[in-house]
Amino acid sequence: MKIRIKFRKYGAMKFVGHLDMMRYFQKAMRRAEIAICYSEGFSPHQIMSFAAPLGVGVTSDGEYLDIEVGASKTSGDAIRDLNAVMADGVEITGYQKLPDNAKTAMSVVAAADYDLFYKEGYHVPASVEQFEEGIEAFFVRPSEVLVTKATKKSEKTMDLKKLVYDFRIRVEDGRPVFYLLLSTGSVDNVKPELVFEALLASMGLVFEADAVQIHRRDVYAARALKADDGFRFCSLGEMGEMV
């Protein structure tokens, strides 16, 4: 049976990297006595895969991992048992059964959305109005927004106009919060810091990684719409049903 687990990651846990989170969950499954399935062989490993890796320093309300179980507790019991063995800073918020033919979270990821904001105690380098104008000039008005991303071997030029689906600003407690909906996954993966850094650069400002908190809100798959060739995003947390 395929199960999708949704969790939040916050607080000090944001310093625990992706690989360590995978090991963390393997142990958590055992502690919570989830009847997870194992691969064959001498060193069997759990059938488990994550949707989209989260960078160190980033918090999230919408992380996903898919597992395969032999038998399942009810969603409510599984969430309760998992939360009983979590470290502070990880909270299980969903446990759903997927259709048997469902593709893994990793392979269907198409987008993720984020909030970015200046952390407490850090100087916000421009006013909300200046940022609004900056987004207009950098992103809304131009017909293409080219940025170059350096990968390990080569450089890749991307048009953000096609890969950033939404870029807005709102105000909370008198401070700007930036909202980004970004293409995510193995094909066109756009990282929020890349977009934000490019915005700041266009405004003549410098991006300081530690000043800005990046918070992932959710991760989405693309669902084709029957009527035309459009599509809509569907949260990975809404693709299954409760057990």
Partner 1 sequence: MELQEKTAPEPSRKLHENPDKKRKLALSDKILLRVEKPARYIGGEVNAVMKDPSEVDIRFAFCFPDVYEIGMSHLGIQILYDMFNRREDVWCERVYSPWPDLHRVMKEENIPLFALESQQPVRQMDFLGITLQYEMCYTNILQILDLSGIPLSASGRGERDPIVIGGGPCAYNPEPIAEFFDLFYIGEGETQYDALFDLYKKMRSEGAGRKAFLRQAAGIPGIYVPSLYEAVYRGDGTIAQFHPIEEGVPGTVRKQVVTDMERAVCPERPVVPFLKATQDRVVLEIQRGCIRGCRFCQAGMIYRPVREKSVERLKELAVTMLKSTGHEEISLSSLSSSDYSGLDRLVTFLVEECRKSGVNISLPSLRIDAFSLDVMSKVQDVRKSSLTFAPEAGSQRLRDVINKGLTEEVILDGAQMAFEGGWNKVKFYFMLGLPTETEEDMRAIARLADETAARYYETVPKEKRNGRCQITISTSFFVPKPFTPFQWARMYPPEDYIGRAKIVNNAVKEQLNRKSIRYNWHEADVAVLEGVFARGDRRVGAVIRRAYEKGAIFDAWSEFFDYGRWTEAFAECGVDPDFYVMRERGLDEIFPWDFIDAGVKKEFLKREWKRAMEGVVTPNCRMQCQGCGANQFGGGVCYENQD
Q: Please, what is the minimum distance in Å from the beta carbon of residue 235 to partner 1? A: 8
Who contacts 51 (Cβ-Cβ below 8 Å, separation ≥6)?
A: 63, 64, 65, 66, 105, 106, 109, 219, 236
Q: Please, what is the minimum distance in Å from the beta carbon of residue 87 to partner 1? A: 5
Note whether 213 binds partner 1 by CB under 8 A.
Answer: yes
Closer of 27 and 103 to partner 1 (Cβ): 27
Note whether 51 binds partner 1 by CB under 8 A.
Answer: no
- CA-to-CA dists, residue 78 to 97, 100, 189, angstroms: 12, 19, 32
The binding track of 27-46 with respect to partner 1, each residue x by CB under 8 A or -, is xxxxx------x--xxxx-x
Note whether 16 binds partner 1 by CB under 8 A.
Answer: yes
Closer of 148 and 161 to partner 1 (Cβ): 161
Distance CA 81, CA 6 (A): 14
Interface residues with partner 1 (CB under 8 A) are 10-13, 15-17, 20, 23-24, 26-31, 38, 41-44, 46, 56-57, 61, 85-89, 113, 115, 117, 119-120, 165-166, 168, 172-173, 175, 177, 179, 181, 209-210, 213, 215, 217, 220, 225, 228-233
